Amino acid sequence: MPLRPLHPCAQPGCPELVRDQARCSAHLKQQKRRLDERKSPEDRQFYSSSRWRKLRALKLSHDPICQKAMCYNQATDVHHIQRRQEFPELTFALENLQALCKRCHSSETAREVWHS
């Protein structure tokens, strides 16, 4: 599979070039820290639970490539198709999970935020 071309980090003013993600590793860590700070205590507890981590690992092992159409990147994130806050009964349902690359997951999450 051909490599994606290098492009600048999405952080304004950063000179680093990246290939598969939007930001360089330093700015990814900063972004993750900011996002983690915005999560509720319940979200932090859920996403660090043993049950979720095992299910996430299972999904990524079954679907190692992003499941978005026309995207062939490595899947790194697991997305709830039906939001777990609205459909708690589907929280641990494998058929309600989608393996996505970081870019597609960020895009899908942003779309949900704007349309909720």
Residue 19 lies in a domain: no
Q: What is the pLDDT of residue 5?
A: 86
Q: Whole-prediction pTM value?
A: 0.68
How many domains would you assign to the chain? 1
For residue 53, give the amino acid letter. Answer: R
Neighbours of 32 (CB within 10 A): 11
Residue-wise pLDDT for 36-55, tens only, equals 666 788 988 999 999 999 99
Measured CA to CA, the distance from residue 107 to residue 65 in angstroms comes to: 16
Residue 4 lies in a domain: no
Phi, psi (rounded to 5 degrees) for 18:
-130, 160
Q: What is the pLDDT of residue 35?
A: 67
Place 34 in a pLDDT band, splitting at 50, 70 and 90: confident
Residue 80 lies in a domain: yes
Residue-wise pLDDT for 75-107, tens only, equals 999 999 999 989 999 999 999 999 999 999 988
Residue 93 lies in a domain: yes
Q: Taking 60 as the threshold, does the pLDDT of residue 116 lie above it?
A: no
Residue 111 lies in a domain: yes
Residue 15 lies in a domain: no
- What is the domain range of residue 80? 59-116
Q: Taking 60 as the threshold, does the pLDDT of residue 57 lie above it?
A: yes
